[in-house]
Amino acid sequence: MSRWAELNDDGVHRFQAGDVAGAVAALEGALGVAAAGQRATTLVNLAGVLDASGDQERAAALLTDALAVAGPEARAVVLGSRADVLAKLGRTAEARQDVERGFATARPHEAVVLHLVRARLLLAEGRFAQAEAEASTAAGLAAAHAPHLAPHAHADLAAIAEAAGDPVRAAEYGRLVDRPDGVQPIGPRWHRCGTLNSHGAMLAMSGDAAGALAAFEAAYRETLGSDEDEALVCRAGVAANLAGLVDPLRWNTEAITLGRTVLHRVGNAYGTAGVLVNALVARAQHLRHESRSAEALADLDEAEGLAGGQPPILAVRAAVLSACGRFGEATEVATAALDLAYASAPQLAAFVHATLADVADGTGDRAGGAEHLGLARELAAATGDVAAQAAAVLSLARLAYLDSANDRAVALYGEAEELLRASGDERGLLVCLHGRAAVEVVRGRPREALEMLDRVAADHSGTPVERIAVLQVRGAALEALGEYAAADGQYGEAAEVAQRAGLWHVALGGAWWRADALVRWASTVDGQARRELSERALDHALPGALAAEAVRQRFGHGPVRERWVALAAAPALRSAFTAIAAVGDVELAAAYIDHVAGTASLSLAEAVPETSAARGELVGLPVPPVPRSPSSAAGERPLPSSEGDHLPYAASFAASTGEDPAFPATGFALPPRVRPDPAVPSALDRWIDVAERRYGFPVRSEQAVASW
């Protein structure tokens, strides 16, 4: 590199770093050693530094010197730069003359500055429409030929709109200033649509949902009947905003379809990729509530392909994974999302903590769930996110109810109701009413609970998870009234909803819930009726317990695996023993005891020091097996464990060959069946077969070992 190049580049770098004096010294040094063909470049650079520091007079003189030595290829740049400086000095006639001379030889990327100077001159004369047209032309050229100049064009457009008394348009252009990707604004034909859309957004943020809806609908009508690229750009943005107010699935889907079309036609010239990503994430969130996890994850995959692993994408992905029972993956993604949220998107932190609470609760760790919900509640309050705060309080109320802290639950539901009314969340108020109904049941007021549930059902069909919860509480209320057959019908319907939605983990919990209810019903009758009810209880409890226990095969040895057994699968095991006792099957009881004893549980004291076995490890679960039954969501398949290679223990048997996709080679081997005589099937074998068929994943291998 020549001495001139070193000094010239050093001057530019120093200026970019904010060292004006150093930049001037370096560039003046470059002038001292510049050859004839190099002087124009350095004079323009030095003039730019002086202009930025406020010395326009000297900058203009240097640019005049540069014009005298510039070759034909550089004249447009020099003329544009001098016109800009002359305009700042108020020498508008000379500036206008330089602009017109510059256009004579300017290439597209050089014309950007000339159009911007012309726009500034027109703005100074109060000719706002013409100024905006010039700046828009500059923005379009910058997007195509000089992306680094696009922010300057957008800043000028914002200033013109502000001067013209249009703060909405000014804000719209202002949002583009910090985007270095060459995104261009829409043309004048679609300005009314853009103005209506921006006005609707402002009304929505101020809480005027009706006014916002009217503005968005008017903006949408402006685009109808046109298939032009800019019309589709506008329509996509309006559809995405409409999705925030009404029919989110319909409007987000339209925004996604339009966004894909625009990207296919013109790429991201208008920033449509951002609209598409937001609509995909919003639709995934809606699909999550509907338990359509495979579709939600596909939307998130597309969003991540367009925008990378942004915090909102990761946060919703973690929530989807947790909702469909993939707790290990959910924890990994949520942890990454939480780190990013604290670093750059604090408004998302409450949502991610709520997801981690769902994982903890879903694996039996209510105390851990309460800790995360407490953080979510505090963060939401600090950021003014009333909806997130209400959701956290609602979940805390539910945990209080599950812990039989009824007074605390009622107080929390009251707090949640205040927040929900403040945010106008009618759906949330119905969820709150359902929670109060659950408390009424345990307080011995089942009829009042049923009245509340009737109000919930009349106003809101709910998501699959919400429908399951309502059915279970209704069943409990009917059971408390002695209407056992009706209660069982509610529990059965809840199980069907879980199966249709592919919620394997919810179905497992529902199995022991229903079995316990059948045992209680059996205790009220005698003879054959009692026998039949007890056998039905066994049919729900034992396969569910076997499947819940088998999920431990997804874990590596150590405290996490043991906590799954102790906290999540234990209720199912207790229910199975209760049902076996109810039918009085001694042989089956012995076989089940052999089965349970034959799957080793590690001693925490022997495995690791107690100080390292914190409850927080429970939320680091590896991926549980996903059902492969017809009811499973399309596209979901069991994934390998992330626990790494490790050795099996006791009846976990030899290391897997990886032949079964639910139990890959890196995990525990599928345990053998335990029988008094390995060659003779035990009373439990047929139940293992039932569990595997019903839940869609293996419970034990076909090998057998002798019981103890």
Mean pLDDT along residues 66-78: 84
User: In whole angstroms, what is the distance from residue 275 CA to residue 233 CA?
Assistant: 9
Q: Please answer whether residues 677 and 646 qualify as being in contact, where contact means their C-beta atoms are separated by less than 8 angstroms.
A: no
Helical segments of 551-615, H only: 559-563, 570-583, 586-597, 604-607
Q: pLDDT at residue 67 above 90?
A: no
Q: Indicate the pLDDT class of residue 20, thresholds 50, 70 and 90.
A: confident
Q: Pick 623 or 176 by higher pLDDT.
A: 176
Mean pLDDT along residues 428-446: 93
Q: pLDDT at residue 618 above 60?
A: no
Q: pLDDT at residue 186 above 60?
A: yes
For 674, the enclosing helix (H) or strand (E) is strand 673-675
User: In whole angstroms, what is the distance from residue 365 CA to residue 310 CA?
Assistant: 29
Q: pLDDT at residue 521 above 80?
A: yes
| Contacts (Cβ under 8 Å, ≥6 apart) of 102 | 75, 76, 79, 80, 83, 110, 114
Q: Tokens 């709520």 label which residue?
A: 354
pLDDT value for 614: 39
Q: Which of 414, 405, 477 is nearest to 441 (CA)?
A: 477
Q: pLDDT at residue 181 above 70?
A: no
User: In whole angstroms, what is the distance from residue 240 CA to residue 245 CA?
Assistant: 10
Tokens matching residue 420: 């929900």
Which amino acid is present at 33? V
- Tens of pLDDT, residues 674-688: 898 899 999 999 999
End-to-end CA distance of the chain: 83
Q: pLDDT at residue 547 above 50?
A: yes
pLDDT value for 179: 56
pLDDT value for 378: 93
Residues in the chain, overall count = 708
Q: Indicate the pLDDT class of residue 39, thresholds 50, 70 and 90.
A: confident
- Tens of pLDDT, residues 252-275: 999 999 999 999 999 888 888 888
Q: pLDDT at residue 43 above 60?
A: yes
564 secondary structure, DSSP code: I
* C-beta neighbour count of 576 within 10 angstroms: 30
**Low-confidence winner among 285-294, 429-438, 559-568, 585-594 (lowest mean pLDDT):** 559-568
Q: Indicate the pLDDT class of residue 660, thresholds 50, 70 and 90.
A: very low
- Tens of pLDDT, residues 189-200: 887 887 788 778
User: Going along 443-519, which residue ranges are E strands?
Assistant: none
Highest mean pLDDT among 245-254, 305-314, 362-371, 462-471: 245-254
SS3 706: strand
Which residues partner with 434 through β-bridges?
none
**Low-confidence winner among 92-96, 311-315, 424-428, 440-444 (lowest mean pLDDT):** 424-428
Cut 0.75: pTM above it: no
**Low-confidence winner among 321-325, 565-569, 604-608, 703-707 (lowest mean pLDDT):** 604-608
User: In whole angstroms, what is the distance from residue 220 CA to residue 304 CA?
Assistant: 28
| Contacts (Cβ under 8 Å, ≥6 apart) of 298 | 635
Q: pLDDT at residue 406 above 90?
A: yes
Tokens matching residue 633: 């969501």
Q: Within the chain, what is the greatest distance between any pair of CA atoms?
A: 113
User: In whole angstroms, what is the distance from residue 44 CA to residue 68 CA?
Assistant: 12
The count of C-alpha atoms lying within 13 angstroms of the C-alpha of 351, restricted to the half-sphere facing its C-beta, is 22
User: In whole angstroms, what is the distance from residue 346 CA to residue 352 CA?
Assistant: 10
User: In whole angstroms, what is the distance from residue 412 CA to residue 41 CA?
Assistant: 70
Helical segments of 646-706, H only: 685-695
pLDDT value for 541: 96
